[in-house]
Chain A
Amino acid sequence: MSTVRVHTNTDAPPRSEDPPPGGRVGAQQRAPFIRQVITLTRRNLTHIKRQPEMLSDVTIQPVMFVLLFAYVFGGSIQTNGSGYREWIMAQTMAFSAFVVAFGLSNDLTKGVIDRFRSLPINRGSVLVARSTSSLIHSSLGVIVMSLTGLIVGWRVRGSFLEALAGYALLMLFGFAMIWLGILVGSVMRSVEGVNGVIFTTIFPLTFLANTFAPSENMPHWLRVIAEWNPISSLVQAMRDLWGNGAPPPVDAQWPLHHPIIATIAWAIIFTAILAPLAMRAYVNRTRD
């Protein structure tokens, strides 16, 4: 019964490979990063399952958008090629790239973030899990939109692989945009604030593009902006890959002639800038 405890030298900070004093079981557990992300992603998805109303943005909204754009705008805007209804689909899909990481700002106001921060896990895992679950969330919207599109007459006229590439680009761009959501979510104090900021910045951005109307009818300066708009690249790339609509006018800006490369580039640039900023904002937000 005589428990002899040898005091480790606590004057010198232990090196990371040192066992803790007493060498107790369980004190040095670590989960690999990927397991942390999977665990937290599963948690976020369970939240959606428990609050099905969170899915309204990927169920009712997409159907509404497709019908609205196809029938309200579709009748009045003339485009070349296979008709506005088909032309507008890519734009409608691009909307789904803006599923905001609302869940994060919800989490930040709750004690559970303290719990995560008191665990020996990578701080980035909470954010990567958030972006992963948001991506899964938004892909549900893409599926709903595609089905609705098919019903109202949208068709993919390219090959199967091209179609898949279109979806992949959409997801890639969506992933980049989710970091914007996480950044705003970490900076803003309330969910309502996040909503406001995202809406007032993203909404004009989606209109200032070749999304709703072809850019060639705009004044020159506006057209340059619109054609360099990342969303224009994305939408043009999807139109090309799905065979919806004519190729861009010959005098269009560079991104519209190389929309796939441009979209990938934009996605990489956005992620490279936004992800570290989001990470920093999150760490700052949760410091004190």
Chain B
Amino acid sequence: MGARSVVTMTATAIEAIDLVKTFGDLTAVDHVSFTVPEGTVLGLLGPNGAGKTTAVRMMTTLSPPTSGTARVAGYDVRTHPDQVRASMGLTGQAATVDELLTGRENLRMIADLYGLPRPRVRRVADDLLERFSLADAATKVVKEYSGGMRRRLDLAASLIATPPVLFLDEPTTGLDPRSRQELWEVLRNLVEQGTTLLLTTQYLEEADHLADRIIVIDHGTVIADGTPLQLKDASGAARIVLTVSNADDLSAAESLLRGLIPEVRVDPANRQITGSAEGLDAITRIAAGVQNLGIEIDDLGLKRPSLDDVFLNLTGHRAEPQLAATEESA
């Protein structure tokens, strides 16, 4: 590139600016703002009906904001919807592929609609089928595809015009664990190649795995924003967990821990004692103390709060992915 003195800044790929969406009396999205730098992954995390899908629909021009706006690749969704559409791919919550067409026909149709040169239409479709392990099912009607195959085809369809920005609305909802892992792998590769990703999910694990940054949204408002690590730290200190081998040692171990760390709690059923881990040297001292007292232990470790704990801490209620069937319809 040569030594040019250019001010390097990371470009902003997605920008939500005070987005609001109301449906009658219901405020589905309530003054949501955030930015996503190019080449990063933002996880929009929240339970059913939190407003994730509505936010994505506004950012992808499918639904006009009640107020506020969003920019995708620098284009305003209100004033330049066509440029936004040309710069992004969307994989919606409901599979957005055509059930009565074959996998190949689906991809070719979309390539045609993008206006790719005709020889490229064929090549791009076949390349993507290959890349998403759908080559064998290329001539099968999508109706006969499994859930995982549909999602992969859906994602492939979003990639036809190699858009710099990709929106994925609950990409793995309803997938079995193996298909989910496969999809994650594909998404990681895309990000490595420079694609910016915004994904909504109600799987805390998914956001933890994929996202550089997580925005937690509940009842239409942003209630937390940070890296997965920051969010975990914010929801309280990590805890030290000591499991003794014999229940008889519980009281001795308890008094040892009470001398060293605060908030000690005993769980006799699991022969476990937990306490707040303020400073990691506490672990070393506990280990030494246990040895001195001759207490036999099964395990001594540090437990960081999971995103599930984070969510409980932030909202006062648990995220409930099992209610996926009643997901927000708006």
Contact = CB atoms under 8 A, between A and B. Distances in A.
Nearest to A109: B94
B105 interface: yes
A25 B92 CA distance: 23
Contact of A118 (B62, B112, B162, B164): B62
A31 B114 contact: yes
B96 A4 contact: no
B247 interface: no
B95 A288 contact: no
Contacts of B4: 4
A46 B8 CA distance: 50
Interface in B62-115: 62-64, 71, 73-76, 79-80, 82-83, 85-90, 92-101, 105, 109-110, 112-115
B161 interface: yes
B113 A14 contact: no
A7 B11 contact: yes
Contacts of B105: 43, 46
A114 B96 contact: yes
Contacts, number: 157
A25 B116 CA distance: 12
Contacts of A220: none
Interface residues of B, number: 58
A14 B109 contact: no
Nearest to A6: B6
A24 B83 CA distance: 13
A117 B62 CA distance: 7
B218 interface: no
A7 B6 CA distance: 10
Given A2-B1, A10-B15, A10-B71, A26 B161 contact: yes
A288 B64 CA distance: 7
A31 B94 contact: no
Given A21-B11, A114-B90, A114-B94, A26 B162 contact: yes
A40 B99 CA distance: 14
Contacts of A47: 100
Contacts of A29: 86, 114-116, 161
Contacts of B86: 20, 27-30, 120
Contact of B63 (A13, A16, A26, A288): A288
A111 interface: yes
A42 to B, nearest CB: 8
B276 interface: no
A121 B113 contact: yes
Given A112-B97, A115-B97, A27 B164 contact: yes
A118 B98 contact: no
Secondary structure at the B interface, as helix, strand, loop or mixed, is loop
Contacts of B73: 20-22, 27
A111 B8 contact: no
Contacts of B82: 16, 120
Q: In this complex, which of A28, A31, A111, A120 has the most chain B Cβ atoms within 10 angstroms of its Cβ?
A: A120
A37 to B, nearest CB: 10
A56 interface: no
Interface in A19-64: 20-22, 24-32, 35-36, 39-40, 42-43, 46-47, 50-51
A27 B85 contact: no
Given A5-B8, A31-B114, A14 B100 contact: no
B210 interface: no
Contacts of A118: 60-62, 85, 88-90, 92, 96
B166 to A, nearest CB: 11
Nearest to A30: B115
B38 interface: yes
A26 B163 contact: yes
B155 interface: no
B109 A39 contact: yes
Contacts of A16: 80, 82-83
A32 to B, nearest CB: 7
A46 B98 CA distance: 11
A36 B113 contact: yes
Interface of B: 1, 4, 6-12, 15, 23, 38, 57, 60-64, 71, 73-76, 79-80, 82-83, 85-90, 92-101, 105, 109-110, 112-116, 141, 157, 161-164, 330
Given A24-B87, A35-B115, 10 more contacts: A8-B11, A14-B83, A21-B38, A27-B73, A27-B87, A28-B83, A30-B115, A50-B100, A111-B97, A118-B62
8 contacts: A2-B1, A4-B1, A35-B112, A50-B100, A112-B99, A114-B92, A120-B85, A288-B330
